[in-house]
Structure 1
Amino acid sequence: MTETRAVVAPAQGKPVEVVTIEVPPPGPGEAVVRVQACGVCHTDLHYRAGGINDEFPFLLGHEAAGLVEAVGTEVDDLAEGDFVVLNWRAVCGVCRACRRGWPWYCFDTHNATQPMTLQDGTPLSPALGIGAFAERTLVHSGQCTKVDPAARPAVAGLLGCGVMAGVGSAINTGQVTRGDAVAVIGCGGVGAGAVAGAHLAGAAKTIAVDTDPTKLDWAMELGATHTVNANEADTVDAVREHTNGNGANVVIEAVGRPETYTQAFYARDLAGTVVLVGVPTPAMQLQLPFLDVFARGGALKSSWYGDCLPNRDFPMLVDLHQQGRLPLEKFVSEEIALDEVEQAFTKMERGDVLRSVVML
């Protein structure tokens, strides 16, 4: 066992604590990673609030990059010192989705089987099977994606969740292409990633929609061509105004609410695509006129993790960043220490930051 400092959510609604945990040596198919940077994501906040499940205590953190420190048996594609971005969808290769050639939908993704624990032996539940607000973490080897080691950890690690979800919702799920008009409703971390993805894919117009002027400014820095403050204008009317009255070819909903999804549905062009990447809560219900669903045609899609395949997408996006074509550094609002995570949650809730990144 190796002792390491980590951020743990002890119980629902309670502030996080920095404690010493025990990390076992890697077993078959596992790896220990020395974490260098980890982004503070809304999902971590949901874990702390009990919004994911009640399997406390949680070891938080999952948007991470670091160096492989040790590997277990049956691992032949990783070595000590490899620079990796951690992912939470290590595909199995044998489920029905993988066999059909759709590994990004893998229904049986891998995690480490051994638990990390508190010093008294209490097992920890790692956020999204990762738990990277820690100096070291234990993961399945398939959760380690090797990328260009010249990339800064604070930037590369953001691909582990929110930025990848956003970029992928545009490129992979929405299949944005050259000349498209794209609207993104909700411009937090995921929505900002969608804006960047649409710009990267060659969209002619990218319309950013939010109620927060600061987030709209961030969207402009990441490639938006137009902005809509939803407190000041009707979203559907504004998107149509910017698209010659037609609506957008692809509308990406990054909020996860029935009201904004309905706006997305009506803000798209005929035969256009709606992509839901915002995560609804279990009690939410959606109502749409059934005839409109038929008559407007097109596609209504959900985007899981940006429909990414980590070993395909992470290296590609890091390379594009290194070439200056994907400004991942603009997502990093601040770099903080491990004991500043609770304050980072407060800043996130206020909308003060796009991403706080814990540096270790």
Structure 2
Amino acid sequence: MEVGVGADGRRKRRLRARDRRAAAGRVRRVAVDRRLLERRADRAETRGGRVAAAAAVRRSGYAMTVTAVRAPEKGRVGIERVELPSTEPHQLRVRVAMSAVSPGTERASILGLENTSNVFPMKLGYSAVGTVEEVGSAVPGDAFAIGDRVACFTLAHAEVGTVAAEYSLRAPESVDDRHAALTSIGQIAMQAVRKARIELGEAVAIFGLGPIGLTALALARLSGAAPVIAIDREPARLQVARRMGADLLVNTNDKEWRESVLGATNGNGAAAVIESTGFPEPVRLAMSAAARYGRVVLLGSTRAEATINPYTDIHRPGLTIIGAHVMAVPKHESRAGFWTWQDDARCYLDLVGRGRLDLSPIMEEPVAGADAGVVYARILEWDPTILVPFLRWGA
């Protein structure tokens, strides 16, 4: 039997239908295709548009994917789309403009050499500059704002990444992108030069003229070292050291190399030696180049055991051996010879901004992040002329 419906019934039915349509609309909006949202983020032309698009992806319940450089397994490098983790309370979300490649460190990591994590897949890169897109809830309100240009440590090679606020610093407009992207490499060299306690007029020798060693050379000159002695076995790197102001070039392939050091230091040897090769054998050679009572700063992360005789190499000449790994710096408060990452990084940016530190001789022309494979082919083949390649991200 058919039951008739009165006015009240029809009204209730219309309301229920309207509610169903609204609910369906909400479901459709939540289920917006993930790729469409990412295309919108990629197409956004303004800083505000990119931030809004990223927020839309987060609200959809999907993780954003970004292009990044990864080592999927030992000995291999790939350009991949990876999921970007959500921003933790103490972190910043940064859209990377440029990242600096650290050839020695990254090659060792890719090949799984000794004293690397040897855990794959592996992020690559640690020194970059970009723009803040999101500020974590626990970051102090006056520390960073969306749109700030920041130099960062531990920010990997990728379009967008997350990084601890304590390893981020506003980069002044007076510092170009390449110098800003080098901030963490500059800080690594700077903390070693501080630990060397260089006095005006002291002879300083730099063993190993990769990007970090050459940066240490420039900072030793700024600290008053004289003469500054550049030591390597690669002629091309020695010539870069000459352009950066080295007073003496010494090639360790020359059997008389140590006599060259003694000749430039009144027969004494260098008051301070900064070893930055990352290889074990030069550690002992660095000690032999030091003056009696000299300081030897171990800046390079050696990838194998070094053989030394503690009595003849350290004890008898009265050497002071100083470890200078980048993580051996205080977290919260600087003191003489031991500055925090923030203070060293700020000093580096200030020196560059004032025109007192110029690292352009070690800079290569940037390449697009998507073309990073060309850079890593050179690194894995160990091209001795490679200095600091840069990866450019975004427009």
- When normalised by structure 1's length, the TM-score is 0.82
Q: Shift of residue 358 of structure 1?
A: 0.6
**Which residue among 323, 331, 337 is the counterpart of 2:368?**
337
Pair 1:24-2:85 in alignment: yes
Equivalent of residue 147 in structure 2, options 81, 95, 118 = 81
Q: Residues 152-163 of structure 1 correspond to what in structure 2 (within 5 A)?
A: 152-161=176-185, 163=186
| Counterparts of residues 83-98 of structure 1 (less than 5 Å) | 83-88=149-154
Q: Report the AA paired with residue 253 of structure 2.
A: N
Worse overlay, 348-357 or 21-30: 21-30
> Which residue, out of 44, 61, 64, partners 2:106?
44
Structure 2 match to 1:357 = 390
Q: Find the aligned partners of 1:141 and 1:191 in 2 and give their Cα distance.
A: 27
User: What runs of 5+ residues in structure 2 fail to find an aligned partner?
Assistant: 1-62, 330-338
* CA 340–274 in structure 1, closer or farther in 2 if over 3 Å, else same: same
State how 1:269-280 maps to structure 2 within 5 Å: 269-280=291-302
Q: Deviations over 1:66-90 (max 9, x none)?
A: 11110121111221112211124xx
2:318 alignment partner in structure 1: 297
Matches within 5 A, 1:229-268: 229-268=251-290
Take 1:156 and 1:277, find their aligned partners in 2: how far apart are those partners?
22
- 1:347 is matched with which residue? 378
- For residue 309 of structure 2, what is the aligned residue in structure 1? 288
Q: Which residue of 2 aligns with 1:62?
A: 126
Output the CA distance in 2 between the equivalents of 1:153 and 1:48.
26
Gapped runs of 5+ residues in structure 1?
89-129
Distance in 1, matches of 2:139 and 2:184, equals 21
Q: 2:201 aligns with which of 179, 200, 213?
A: 179
CA 1:291–1:20 in structure 2 vs 1: closer, same or farther (change >3 Å)?
A: closer
Secondary structure, aligned partner of 2:300: coil
Judge conservation of contact 1:178–1:201 (CA < 8 Å) in 2. yes
Moved over 4 A (4+): none
Structure 2 length normalisation: TM-score? 0.75
2:392 is matched by which residue type in structure 1? M
Aligned length: 314
Instruction: Report the Cα offset of residue 291 of structure 1.
Output: 5.0
**Contact 1:148–1:315 under 8 Å retained in 2:** no
Same amino acid, percent of matched pairs: 30
CA contact (8 A) 1:65 1:153 kept: yes
CA distance in 1, matches of 2:373, 2:138: 38
Q: Over aligned residues, Cα RMSD in angstroms?
A: 1.8
Return the index of the structure with the highest Cα Rg.
2
Is this contact kept in 2: 1:40–1:341, CA < 8 A?
no
Could you tell me how far apart the structure 1 residues matched to 2:81 and 2:281 are?
43
Tell me, yes or no, if the aligned pair for 1:168 and 1:194 is still in contact at 8 Å.
Answer: no
Are the equivalent residues in 2 in contact too, given 1:183–1:208 (CA < 8 A)? yes
Per-residue deviation, 1:339? 2.5
Ranked by relative contact order (alpha carbons within 8 Å, sequence separation 6 or more), the top structure is 1
User: Which amino acid in the other structure matches residue 166 of structure 1?
Assistant: A
How far does residue 289 in structure 1 lie from its aligned partner after superposition? 4.6
For 1:296, what is the secondary structure of its paired residue? coil
